[in-house]
Structure 1
Amino acid sequence: MNNEMIRTTGLRKSFGRSEVLRGVDLAVPRGAVVGLLGTNGAGKSTLIKCLLGLLKITAGSATVLGEDPWTLSAAAKARIGYVPQVVHLYPWMKVAQVIQYTAAFYPKWDHAWCDELVDQWDLDRSASIRTLSTGQLQRLGLILGMGHRPDLYVLDEPAASLDPAGRRSLLRSLLEVSEDSEHSILFSTHITSDLERIASHVAIMGDGVIDYFGELDELKDSVKRIRVHSPTDLPADFSLPGSLRTEVIGQSAIVAVAEIDNEFVDQVRKRFHATVEIEDLNLEDIFLELHDAQ
């Protein structure tokens, strides 16, 4: 059995003369919950659309569930659940009608779980689509993308329009989905605290490429901020191996480093006769340090 749900090699996408994706290499293993991070314009939504066959790639290659995204079979499509950043539905329908209409396309639609999500996410089945708020539309879009219990969930900013209670419910549902290590989730987000709660892996995009992909815990273990305090002024060109960012003020320096261990810290202490304090960073801090280092 192929343990890769998604693979891209040198994937490129251009719109006219503008190249948005400039060689994306990514491999999403079965059972992984991958958070896709990046600034606005980094190419996250374009990558997702290429993976789903909504956009045709310009160069390179991609496979999703072992197939070319542009020619996905009906069987493969039935194994994918996609929720776009902006949900568009038929405004003249009611919530229950949209759910029934969507369920008709999926022989394995889980009606019981769908009903549970509707109740859990406080949606009125009799409400007209045109009367729903942006957050309610987002919740309904998530139900429509998850109701057939796909093998691969692809979510583009799924929590962007949700209130804190809605985000909490969504994260709880995604955690339940990922418990069996068989279902995979790829979701883009700007909310790093949400990602930290459920992601097993993180992919950081910058200017059309993947700058980092790996396990979240490994990333948090490797990237640290250290504070160096010396009895004398540090040199203006003070730097440390593997530094991402360095700020020197007289006898002190703040350095973000990509890799750190006890030997590294001992060398800094001895070289500068300094005290060294190590700070753990949350994912948002790590993302900003990596982004600023570009």
Structure 2
Amino acid sequence: MTTPLEARSLIKAFDGDAVLKGVDLTVEPGTVLGLLGKNGSGKSTLIKCLLGLLKPTAGEAFVFGEDAWSLSAAAKGRLGYVPQEVVTYPWMRVRQVIAYTGAFYPTWNQRLADDLCRRWNLPLEQRAGVLSVGQLQTLGLVLALGHEPELLVLDEPVASLDPSARREFLRILIEITGDGDDAGGRVGESARPRTVLFSTHITSDLERIASRLALLKDGAIAFEGESDALKERVKRIRLTSRNGALPTGIDIPGAIHTTVEGVLAEATVTDFTPDLPARLAAENNVDVAVVDLNLEEIFVEMHDE
């Protein structure tokens, strides 16, 4: 099966300043990949390069095996994209925008579009130009989902949605990817595997829906893999001395943050192994406690180093 999205040594610079510095990323069929990164880390730039909306300075990007910069109409018909800011035809009514967009896709599922509009309470007779930011983003989701794409790329899709609409969106996304109880029924009849690239700052959403995570930092992918693997790799360790104050320069392998206060020390390590607590206890005459971190805590720790 053709790989939906792939970046090879992708570099993108603006006025000589590199935002992407050799990104390698492969999104396999059927994957829900959560893309994490701070504001300004280059997430939107990476997405646009992957989809052929920006030309890379160097490296390659592929969509279904085709060069992203020269995608065929057939490949474009297999993907859906929701940018951070949805742009549409302000003079058209919502129902007209949906009908106009649907006319471009032989696979357009009007029943699905109608169902999504109902679930999100979209005002079909309202002109698109007077929609709220949240309503406009919801319309963008309907337009991206209506033709039942094999590949769905979402750049901060829930940033402007109210809690109710956001919850409904996540439920739909779970159905799309085949993990819901009624997957494939209420969200379309396509039997094709669905692949999703989902960029967001809301880590709790990613913990709920993403099967894999990619962390973009300093212009490159700092981690890519299953979320459980990241949680097993990044831990907080607390040391309590059995014999007086601990040295301020205590050596903890893989530590990105270390604080020492008297007999207590705390460190966040990025390469935790099951044998590390015992080694630290023996080498430093300390008691060791290991604390699990959630995804938000890991994100903060890895970006504050």
**TM, length-normalised to structure 2:** 0.93
For 2:51, the equivalent position in structure 1 comes to 52
Question: Secondary structure in 2 aligned to 1:262?
Answer: coil
Matched, 1:132 2:160: no
1:163 to partner: Cα distance = 1.1
For 2:205, the equivalent position in structure 1 comes to 194
1:261 to partner: Cα distance = 3.6
Q: Indicate the larger mover: 132-141 or 283-292.
A: 283-292
User: Is there any run of 5+ residues in structure 1 with no aligned partner, and where?
Assistant: none
Matched, 1:173 2:172: yes
Alignment of 1:1-294 (within 5 A): 1-2=1-2, 4-179=3-178, 182-231=193-242, 232-293=244-305
Give the Cα separation in 2 of the matches to 1:7 and 1:249.
Answer: 46
Q: Is this contact kept in 2: 1:41–1:207, CA < 8 A?
A: no
1:41 to partner: Cα distance = 1.1
Identity of aligned residues (%): 53
Give the Cα separation in 1 of the matches to 2:57 and 2:271.
Answer: 36
Q: Is this contact kept in 1: 2:94–2:125, CA < 8 A?
A: yes
1:17 to partner: Cα distance = 1.5
Residues 213-252 of structure 1, C-alpha deviation per residue, up to 9 Å, x if partnerless? 1111111122111111113211111121111211111111
Residues 112-140 of structure 1, C-alpha deviation per residue, up to 9 Å, x if partnerless? 11111111111111111122110010101
What is the one-letter code of the residue matched to 1:33? V
Question: Secondary structure in 1 aligned to 2:4?
Answer: strand
Q: Indicate the larger mover: 57-66 or 173-182.
A: 173-182
After superposition, the CA RMSD in angstroms is 1.3
Q: Is this contact kept in 2: 1:239–1:246, CA < 8 A?
A: no
**TM, length-normalised to structure 1:** 0.96
Residues 152-193 of structure 1, C-alpha deviation per residue, up to 9 Å, x if partnerless? 001110011111111111111111111179211001111111
1:66 to partner: Cα distance = 0.5
The alpha-carbon distance between structure 1 residues 280 and 50, as it changes in their structure 2 partners (threshold 3 A), is: same
Give the Cα separation in 2 of the matches to 1:284 and 1:62.
Answer: 29
Q: Is this contact kept in 2: 1:83–1:155, CA < 8 A?
A: yes
Structure 1 moving runs of 4+ over 6 Å: none
1:101 to partner: Cα distance = 0.5
User: Is there any run of 5+ residues in structure 2 with no aligned partner, and where?
Assistant: 180-191
Q: Is this contact kept in 1: 2:6–2:50, CA < 8 A?
A: no
Give the Cα separation in 2 of the matches to 1:25 and 1:261.
Answer: 26
Q: Indicate the larger mover: 68-77 or 236-245.
A: 236-245
